[in-house]
Amino acid sequence: MKLTSIMLFLTLSQISKRAVAFSSNANVNNHVMRVAASYSQTALAAAGGGRVSNAVQDKDVLAKTSADKKQQKVKLDTNPPKGTRDFYPEEMRLRTWLFDQWRSVAAGYGFSEYDAPVLESEALYTRKAGEEVTQQLYNFVDKGDRSVALRPEMTPSLARMVMAKKGGLPLPLKWFSIPQCWRYERMTRGRRREHFQWNMDVWGVAGEEADAELLSAMVTFFKKVGLTSEDVGIKVNSRMVIGEILTELGIPEEKFAATCVLVDKLEKVPLDAVQGDLEELGLDRSVVERLTGVLTVNSVEAIEEILGEESPAVQQIKKLISLCEGYGIEDWIIFDASVVRGLAYYTGVVFEAFDRKGVLRAIAGGGRYDKLLETFGGDPTPAAGFGFGDAVIVELLKDRDLLPSFDASGVDTVVFAMNEDLYKAALDVASRLRAAGQKVDLVLEPKKTKWVFKYANRIGAKYSAIIGSQEFENGEVAIKNLEASEQESVKIAELAEWVDKQ
């Protein structure tokens, strides 16, 4: 009985397959499939078989697998997500060049590079001071039911890393990074929803010496890329200025950070737009007007008249400017009491680099954040740093016509075999040139010599190395200087020496 049932099952399976293959009538196909499936299931059960597959039980299996069914094609949107960028080779060369300038400056100041995950715990950024960054998070709940976010800034990640070592890191700590950061914000020129940001931070130094060192590093970069103090200025202030005014007005210290965040918004919106938020903090209009009056001051002498010569804020600002004079960067530095920066964790010196023509938004910014580690439950640790975005500085360098050309690929030599029999010789030539330190582009398929020269010129190569029959017999390669249009024959065995002479 079992053998008969198995034979019946196999026979019916063959019938169903042939029905699908030869019948053009869809109704017949569906009927045959249903009958065959029913008998096959009965036969398999009678044979003592186990569970029947879903494919056999599925009544619509033919419709789902029919080759005649038209599949709807969805056209691919070739644009990257709004606010993000693709980096084609030319743009990538620009990015690499910029990062190299940043790394060079950081290394010159004795800083070490670090990195952290682009995905962090959301709790790292959800402070309660009304900062824009909290509302601009790319955040979601992951498959492990964890609330996470793409990092909008690097400083909290750095704080987490320092805390993770539980005092095991030797201080002072001088680190830098070039992370990609994400914020869902309104886009303007030089402001995107993702950007790369050069960060330099000093931990463990309480004095203004750390702040001045950071300002000097920023100026060193500006000079390195051809900018002058006529192009860029750096506004400096201290959060202690607004702190002393708030103390004088009877505002409790726990409201200082939130007040600074709101005051920072006054540069972008009128007072009426944040008046309600200020009143929630207990700041009536007279207090705000007193604050804004102080924030219009743009000289150390004027702020000294308001706060007094013995004011800690005044002493801090004077010392910072004196240190900047020692670095020889005083032409870049401007005191501006309106600079408070929009992040709640700043505690002392704050600064912001700006385009003196007023065309672009802030180029870079930073300051002292001595209490950040405490907000995460860590030990009090003095710290200062800055963030320097890639998009704005590139726009500024374009405006000043200071960007080098990135059309050339960076290839030194294009290597080409005149025919297929010489291809192995071309491999040898390319390998020797690469071993000698050259960047070599090997032509991988048959091409005409004219095409090779055009290609080499298009990618900005310096030389072409052509392996022809006669040169190969002599153990040589014909190398042409594409800029000078001069050609010479070089022994293949002596290519390393030829590279050294270039």
User: What are the tens digits of pLDDT across the range 61-87?
Assistant: 555 555 555 567 788 899 999 989 999
What is the tally of helices (H) and strands (E) in the chain? 20, 17
Q: What is the pLDDT of residues 180-237, one digit of tens each?
A: 999 888 877 767 889 999 999 999 999 999 999 999 999 999 999 999 999 999 999 9
- Between residues 135 and 237, which one has the greater pLDDT? 237
* C-alpha neighbours within 13 Å on the C-beta side of residue 314: 15
This prediction has a pTM of 0.79
Q: What is the pLDDT of residues 26-47, one digit of tens each?
A: 444 444 444 444 444 444 444 4
Specify the residue for token string 């090997």: 442
- For residues 461-482, average pLDDT: 96
Q: What is the dihedral of CA 307, 311, 313, 314, to 10 degrees?
A: 80
Q: If we measure between CA atoms, which residue out of 120, 115, 159 comes closest to residue 138?
A: 120
With bands split at pLDDT 50, 70 and 90, how would you rate the model's confidence at 264? low
With bands split at pLDDT 50, 70 and 90, how would you rate the model's confidence at 11? very low
pLDDT at 1 over 60: no
Per-residue confidence (pLDDT) for residue 62, from 0 to 100: 52
pLDDT at 383 over 90: yes
Per-residue confidence (pLDDT) for residue 12, from 0 to 100: 42
pLDDT at 359 over 70: yes
**Paired residues of 225 in beta bridges:** none
Q: Lowest-confidence range among 248-262, 424-438, 456-470? A: 248-262
DSSP single-letter state for residue 151: -
pLDDT at 472 over 60: yes
Percent of the chain, pLDDT > 90?
Answer: 60
Per-residue confidence (pLDDT) for residue 293, from 0 to 100: 78
pLDDT at 124 over 50: yes
- For residues 307-323, average pLDDT: 94
Q: If we measure between CA atoms, which residue out of 402, 148, 135, 132 comes closest to residue 268?
A: 132
Query: Is 489 within 8 Å of 474 (Cβ atoms)?
Result: yes
Query: Is 91 within 8 Å of 81 (Cβ atoms)?
Result: no
**Paired residues of 387 in beta bridges:** 199, 365
pLDDT at 356 over 70: yes
- For residues 287-298, average pLDDT: 78
Q: SS3 for 411?
A: coil
AA letter at 211: D
Dist CA 352 CA 370 (whole Å): 18
Q: Lowest-confidence range among 270-279, 313-322, 374-383, 411-420? A: 270-279
- For residues 46-64, average pLDDT: 50
- For residues 106-124, average pLDDT: 96
Rounded to the nearest integer, the mean pLDDT of the chain is 84
Q: Which helix (H) or strand (E) holds 150?
A: strand 147-150
Per-residue confidence (pLDDT) for residue 294, from 0 to 100: 80
- For residues 50-60, average pLDDT: 50
Per-residue confidence (pLDDT) for residue 229, from 0 to 100: 97
- For residues 137-157, average pLDDT: 93
- For residues 44-54, average pLDDT: 46
Rg (CA), the chain: 34
Q: Lowest-confidence range among 46-55, 106-115, 247-256, 264-273? A: 46-55
Does the N-terminal peptide bond of residue 89 adopt cis geometry, omega within 30 degrees of 0?
A: no
- For residues 261-280, average pLDDT: 69
pLDDT at 267 over 60: yes
Query: Is 390 within 8 Å of 192 (Cβ atoms)?
Result: no
Per-residue confidence (pLDDT) for residue 393, from 0 to 100: 96
